[in-house]
């Protein structure tokens, strides 16, 4: 009877890389069909050219990758999700599962944006790797270089055997599991999260972990590894409505450059600094689809702007992205400029230049959904643009002060609704 029961259990178990009717009803989808690498490609690429193949019903990393290459990503992006997969690794091996990875030529490797669920052979790593002893933040099932579990409670099968892992990312609340047991649980983008991010391995990676949506990524880190039953269930993302500026201080913002940003009488003020270079005040958070309203008043030169889906590029702390122009009359306030590559995407007609009120408060609205960008100045439509590059972008909102010196702009009532 016992033998029959075991045989029945094996026969009744779902085949690898398939979904049960219940899973399909719950919204699960496979990221790997068990036969091909359809739906995957090189990071920042269009096809798979690196050390990846399908072997024995699993995605197989040949172990020829390195820190700088050997990454594949899903074609599709995901925001909030429940992700499960099975994996096994070679003796002393090292790999990883990353998520919310942002693709951009400015990011040479995916881990400078995407958090990583570490996959590694703790037991034999030192022996295989010249005696290198792993730090706790490098061990298996940690949130790499951020959060570590109680290792005494962790269940980890040895190298060469299958393990099952899971990441649940639910509107910033994050849970990692290994073989059915929770390893870490944390909330992204909290003061504790930013303190960890800014004081350790990621302090010089300004965009690490900020994205709310991105690609799933597998890593070949120079060791053979296998992955199967890779499946994901998208979770609903909550809309949010809030003020970006509290009227009292710069909470929620980060300063880049030497220009002056300060609060006075409930207003956010920027002035040219001692170097007369570009300066930026960027939100800590990413905002992809949103409806943003704000007021600005230009003094002196008044050459500024509002960056959308922008990121900080190192070195130099230069903010790149798409800018909704704020400038003196005759210089396309409400138009759209790309700070790298293409330059002006839309300049406003000359007859609309008088909509800008010089020396007085102006209202601006920016509506961005997917690749569709619209702007209004003092209630009048200025830009209505569809652009695929913008549609692929992710990033922060940032206020700019132009180089050249002599610039002063006041801001207030910055209000956003995420969509």
Looking at 188-281, list the stretches that DSSP marks H as alpha helix, in order from N- to C-terminal side. Answer: 191-199
Mean pLDDT of the chain: 94
Model confidence at 11, pLDDT cuts 50, 70, 90, reads: very low
Q: pLDDT tens digits for 270-295?
A: 999 898 888 999 999 999 999 999 99
Better-predicted residue by pLDDT, 290 or 402:
290
CATH class in words for 241-418: mainly beta
Average pLDDT over residues 317-325: 92
Model confidence at 13, pLDDT cuts 50, 70, 90, reads: low
Q: Are 382 and 376 in contact (CB under 8 A)?
A: yes
The two beta strands, 407-418 and 267-271, are: antiparallel
pLDDT for res 7: 42
The two beta strands, 214-220 and 71-78, are: antiparallel
Where do you find CATH 2.60.120.560 in the chain? 19-234, 241-418
pLDDT for res 210: 98
CATH class in words for 19-234: mainly beta
Say which residues have a Cβ less than 8 Å from residue 339's Cβ, sequence separation at least 6. 307, 310, 319, 320, 321, 322, 323
Q: pLDDT tens digits for 68-104?
A: 999 999 999 999 999 999 999 999 999 999 999 999 9
Looking up tokens 């690898």 gives 16
* pTM given for the model: 0.94
Whether 4 has a pLDDT exceeding 50, the answer reads: no
Please name every residue paired with 87 in a beta bridge, in sequence order, or none if there are none. 163, 227
**Residue 9: is it exposed, middle or buried by C-beta count within 10 angstroms (0-12/13-18/19+)?**
exposed
Whether 364 has a pLDDT exceeding 80, the answer reads: yes
Q: Distance between CA 224 and CA 65 in Å, rounded? A: 9
**Residue 279: is it exposed, middle or buried by C-beta count within 10 angstroms (0-12/13-18/19+)?**
buried
Q: Are 409 and 325 in contact (CB under 8 A)?
A: no
Q: Residue 315, preceding bond cis, omega within 30 degrees?
A: yes
Closest to 349 in 3D by CA, of 377, 310, 321:
377
Whether 337 has a pLDDT exceeding 90, the answer reads: yes
């Amino acid at each position: 009877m016992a033998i029959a029961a075991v045989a029945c259990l094996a026969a009744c178990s779902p085949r690898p890389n398939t979904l049960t009717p219940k899973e399909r009803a719950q919204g699960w989808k496979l990221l790997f069909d068990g036969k091909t690498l359809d739906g995957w490609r090189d990071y920042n690429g269009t096809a798979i050219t690196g050390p990846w193949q399908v072997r024995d019903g699993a995605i197989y990393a040949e172990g020829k990758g390195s820190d700088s290459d050997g990454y594949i990503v899903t074609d599709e992006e995901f925001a909030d999700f429940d992700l499960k997969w099975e994996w096994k690794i070679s003796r002393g091996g090292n790999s990883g599962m990353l998520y919310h990875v942002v693709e951009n030529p400015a990011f040479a490797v995916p881990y400078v944006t995407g958090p990583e669920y570490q996959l590694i052979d703790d037991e034999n790593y030192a022996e295989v790797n010249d005696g290198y002893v792993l730090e706790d933040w490098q061990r298996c099932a940690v949130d790499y270089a951020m959060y570590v579990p109680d290792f005494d409670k962790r269940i980890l099968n040895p190298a060469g055997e299958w393990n099952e892992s899971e990441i649940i990312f639910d509107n910033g609340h994050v849970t990692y599991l290994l073989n059915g047991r929770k390893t870490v649980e944390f909330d992204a983008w909290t003061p504790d999260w930013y303190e960890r991010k800014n004081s350790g391995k990621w302090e010089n990676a300004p965009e690490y972990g900020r994205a709310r949506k991105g690609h799933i990524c597998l890593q070949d880190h120079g060791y053979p590894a296998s992955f199967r039953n890779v499946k994901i269930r998208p979770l609903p993302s909550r809309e949010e409505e809030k003020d970006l500026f509290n009227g009292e201080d710069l909470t929620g913002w980060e300063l880049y450059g030497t220009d002056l940003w300060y609060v006075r009488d409930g207003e956010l003020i920027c002035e040219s600094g001692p170097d007369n270079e570009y300066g930026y005040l960027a939100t800590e958070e990413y905002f992809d689809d949103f409806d943003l309203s704000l007021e600005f008043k230009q003094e002196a030169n008044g050459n500024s702007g509002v960056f959308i889906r922008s990121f900080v590029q190192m070195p130099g702390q230069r903010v790149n992205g798409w800018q909704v122009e704020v400038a003196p009359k005759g210089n396309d306030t409400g138009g759209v400029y790309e700070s790298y590559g293409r330059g002006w995407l839309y300049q406003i007609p000359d007859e609309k230049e008088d909509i800008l009120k010089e020396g007085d408060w102006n209202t601006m609205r920016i509506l961005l959904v997917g690749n569709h960008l619209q702007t209004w100045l003092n209630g009048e439509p200025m830009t209505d643009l569809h652009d695929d590059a913008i549609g692929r972008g992710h990033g922060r909102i940032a206020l700019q002060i132009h180089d050249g010196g002599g610039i002063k702009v006041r801001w207030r009532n910055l209000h956003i609704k995420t969509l």
